[in-house]
Structure formats: structure tokens, C-alpha cells
Structure 1
Amino acid sequence: MPNMRAVPTVRRRRLGKALRQYRTDAQLSGEQVAELMGERWDGPKISRIEHATAKISAPEVAKFLDLCGVTDPEVITALEELARNAGKTGWWSNYGTTAVPQHVEDLIAAETEAKSVRCYHPNVIPGWLQTAAYAREITTATAFRIPPEEHPAIVDVRMARQAVLTQPSGLPKWRFVLHESLMMQRFVSHPSLMRDQLQRLLDVAELPNIELQIMPLTAGPHPGASGTFTIFRFPRPWPPIAMTEDRHDMRYFEGEELAGEYEEAFERILAAALPADQSRETIKKHMEGHNR
């Protein structure tokens, strides 16, 4: 029976990318590594592994890394573990690709594995902090090219993703900066919706691993003018990732140099934002406005 083509899961793609990087750093070609790996190995197989369409076992990963001169036990252990779990899919696999396209799957993997997340949102309250009612309204407004019958699945995925804020194993540190103009949104057909959403922000801000700040309307120019972005930092050996969003896609920038530029921008944004206590008072002030 012919070998089945491996499903390119997020884990398998991450593993393949790491192996390709270590092979390139060692200045070895795929054919050279294949010859050293032994029988039943060839250049095309190495290429398939690195492009996440072929499997590689944990012992084979260890041998691959040894051939590439990798001796860091943390790196070896991390990639072996990734190989053991490479074929596993997450809870989101129960939803279709409309609700979880590839870039959202990558986002779920990043937020699940991060040790810290920092994000600036000027245009919409981020999905991690949305109430279901707010999520439905935003989805209806933005996903107008997706059939309405698909919208509930998109909202369900967004709500399920919020569990990452309180996941029991090694709570990541989250830091949000939201623009004050978001507090002023109104939904005519649902007068209480925004008040409930602002209460959600206050509730989340009470969590020990979350800091929430508001960028005031009176703030001067700052790097946040360029739009929404999020920075993920991971345990070793994985490099940090900065993610930007626009209408059509999410773009990922990996590595200390690229992510570092966004971290510098975020520090400047923090300096322009209200402190946490004043931010809470600002949210409460806008809640009172939504009573009228």
C-alpha cells in the first residue's frame, strides 16, 4: 500500500521549518543529510519533511539535529516532543476551514503556546475579550462575503479561544492596549450590548495574568497609528512572532529583530496610554454613558 501523504498540521509545519533552518545553518543540502540519515532516505523525503507533508519520528529528529551539529538539550527535547505530537490536531479541527482558515489556525497555535502576549487594538475589541453578542455583531459587519449560516461557527471558535486566558498550565502574561474610541461604539438594535462588553473588559482586567490599558482620545501621535499588532513570546527555543492584521489576512514576522521592532513600538504605546487604574475608571465612565 502506498505511503499516505502526511497532513501539514501546525505542529508539523513548525517542526519542518525548524529542521530546515538548522540544516541551512549547518550548510548541508537535503541530499547530504539524506545520505547521512541512511537507507530509505533521499533529498525529496527531506524536502517533504521540511514542508510538513511527510512524517519524521522523534529518534529521527534527534539524529537529524545531531548531523546538523545541534547539541542544545532544550532544542533537541522540544523538537522531539513536537515530532511525537506532530500528527495531532486541536479542538478547532471540528470546525470547517471557513471558521478556521490557515491564518486563524496559526493564531490559535501561537496564543496557546505563548508565555506572553502583548497587543494593541485601535479599531475593534480583540476576540479574546469580546462577549458573544459583540462577536456576532462584528462578524455580521465584517464577514459579509461569508454566508450568514457560517457566522455562528466563527463566533463559536472565537468564544472557545478565550479559554486560553485562564488555561491552567503556566498562565501566559497578557497585556492589552485598546483605544478609547472603542468604548464609544453603539449598537442601535442592542442598547445594552456595549455596556455588557465594557463590563467584560473590567472583569478580564481583574485576572492576575492580564493588564489592560486604554489609549485616551487626547493622546498625541504614537506608533499605534500604523494599526493593530500582536507580539507573541514563547519558551525556548522558539523565536518571538509579531502579527499584524488587515481585512484580508494576518501577517507573521518571526525572529528577535523583526519582533523587537514591534516590541519597541509597544513600549512607546504603553507610555502614551493611561495607567491601569485610570483605564478602569475610563471604562466605567463610558459604561455610565451607555446607560443613557
Structure 2
Amino acid sequence: MGWIGPKLSRIETANGYIRPNEVAPLLKAYGVADPEVVAALEGLARDARKQGWWQTYSGVVSPAYADYISLESDAESIRAYAPLVIPGLLQTAAYARETIAANATTRSPDEVAALAEVRLARQSVLTRPGNPLKLWAIIHEAVLHQRFATRPAVMRDQLRRLLDTAELPDVTLQVMPLAATPHPGGAGGFTLASFPGPMPDVVTLENLIGATYVEGVNDVRVFADAFERIVATALPMDDTLALIAQLEERSRE
């Protein structure tokens, strides 16, 4: 490549950028000739310096969270199993504020409000022109019975939000019933993002201090297979919507 050693080191450690016109020669040196792969990586190189909308929230959005938002914005589809909380892409503003405040125990009220704004802004991928994100979310029924003692309307409005979002053509929603037989989701929730072209799928596992990523092809396949089994165990979409509507009606009593 005619480079000095430190340049390649900076690129490999994500401390430096590679120019788009350098991608093909470098891939040739690596023995990669697939034109689809070359084009995809050249596209990534062109986009590397672009600023995402979430950069304006850099004061409250951690680098790991920023990485996830970037993945989500580039994804073609997302499959998620949520056993503890409504997925962020489906939350109302009030539900987002309540759950963020409960989990982000070291955050100030202003930071909680900013993080809630970020969560709502992320939802634009569901209605982006031309290529809306395909979302398949499976939510455990226990999550739907959660109550907010001081703000009882929060869950009622959240249930209505689920019903409204399920009307989008690219959103599939299922509920894992309380009476379900054992399934792989018992090991915990996860999000599986898939991308166009040759880019590999990525699994995200969340916890109180951030997120970890699973990227190896074989490891990701474990989660993809698990999701299929979770789908087969959960309620069909029609039954799911009927259950949510029943709970929403009951919440009004």
C-alpha cells in the first residue's frame, strides 16, 4: 500500500480513517475480490466522517449507545425479544422517561429527559421514506402488566401505542404468553440487527452499564435460531393484538 506502519495500525484500531479510494487496493492485498463486498466497504468509508443526528446529544449518549444507534439507523431489519421492558422503538415519551429514570440511577432529571428525546428520535427509522426498518418484536406478557403507581395512564397509553404501531406494514408484533412452554428466551433478551448486502448481522445484549455485541457468524446464528424458536412459542399476531386491546380496555376501568 505504500503506507507507513502506524497508518494501518490507526485504521485497524478505529483511531484513523481510510479513504474510499484506498479500500479496493487494501482489500485486494487481503485477497478480497467480491465486488459486492468492495462496494459495501467503500460506502462505509464514504460515510465514516458523517455526523449522525445523535451526535448533538454527545453529552448524555455514551459511545457504546452511539454505536448502537448507528447500527440501528443502518439496519435493514431488527428482530428483538424483550422479556423485561417494551422495546425502545415502540415506547411512548412517558414510558421512556419512567423506565430510563428507573434504570439510569446516576443520571440527573435533565439527562433523563434528553435520553428520552433520543429514544423517541430513534423511532423515525420505522417510517423513514423508501426503506422503513422492518421490526419484529416479541414482548413478554409480564411487561404488559407493569404498572406505574403515580402515573397510571402511562401503561394505558403505551398499550395504545403498541396497537397503533402494529398497523405499520413493516412491523410484526408478538406477545410471549405467561403460560408459554420453556423456550430459549429464558436466557434473556436480545436484539438482532441485519443489514443490506454482504454486511454481517450483529446481536446486542443490554445491561445496566451499557451493551455488548456478538458479531461472530456462528455465535450470531445461535441467536437467529433461538429467535425462530421464540417466534414459534409466542402468540400469533392476531392473538397478540387481541390480548393487548383487552389489556388496554381493562386499563380504562
Band the TM-score falls in, shorter-chain normalisation: over 0.9
SS at match of 1:231: strand
Amino acid at match of 1:181: A
Q: Which residue of 1 aligns with 2:134?
A: 173
Q: 2:238 aligns with which of 247, 259, 277?
A: 277
Q: Which residue of 2 aligns with 1:105?
A: 66
Q: 2:161 aligns with which of 192, 200, 212?
A: 200
Q: 2:52 aligns with which of 75, 86, 90?
A: 90
Q: 2:4 aligns with which of 15, 30, 42?
A: 42
| Structure with bigger RCO (C-alpha 8 Å, 6+ apart) | 2
Q: Which residue of 2 aligns with 1:289?
A: 250
Q: TM-score, normalised by structure 2?
A: 0.96
Instruction: Flag structure 2 segments of 5+ consecutive residues without an equivalent.
Output: none
Q: 1:76 aligns with which of 12, 34, 38?
A: 38
How far apart, in 2, do the equivalents of 1:85 and 1:128 lie? 24
Question: Are 1:142 and 2:103 an aligned pair?
Answer: yes
Amino acid at match of 1:54: G
How far apart, in 1, do the equivalents of 2:63 and 2:251 lie? 37
Q: 2:189 aligns with which of 228, 234, 243?
A: 228
Q: Which residue of 2 aligns with 1:121?
A: 82
Q: Which residue of 2 aligns with 1:6?
A: none
TM-aligned CA deviation for residue 247 of structure 1:
1.6
How far apart, in 2, do the equivalents of 1:255 and 1:232 lie? 13
Q: 1:248 aligns with which of 209, 227, 230?
A: 209
TM-aligned CA deviation for residue 50 of structure 1:
1.4
Structure of larger gyration radius = 1
How far apart, in 2, do the equivalents of 1:68 and 1:267 lie? 35
CA RMSD of aligned residues (A): 1.3
SS at match of 2:197: coil
Q: TM-score, normalised by structure 1?
A: 0.83
State the identity %: 49
TM-aligned CA deviation for residue 137 of structure 1:
0.8
Contact 2:77–2:194 at 8 Å: present in 1 too?
yes
Q: Which residue of 1 aligns with 2:113?
A: 152
Aligned residues: 253
TM-aligned CA deviation for residue 83 of structure 1:
1.6
Question: Are 1:66 and 2:28 an aligned pair?
Answer: yes
CA deviations over 1:29-55 (Å, ceiling 9, x no partner): xxxxxxxx12xx211111011122223
CA deviations over 1:136-159 (Å, ceiling 9, x no partner): 111111111112221111001000
CA deviations over 1:165-185 (Å, ceiling 9, x no partner): 111132232100001111111
Amino acid at match of 1:172: L
How far apart, in 1, do the equivalents of 2:18 and 2:223 lie? 34
How far apart, in 2, do the equivalents of 1:74 and 1:210 lie? 28
Farther off after superposition, 49-58 or 190-199? 49-58
How far apart, in 2, do the equivalents of 1:164 and 1:288 lie? 29
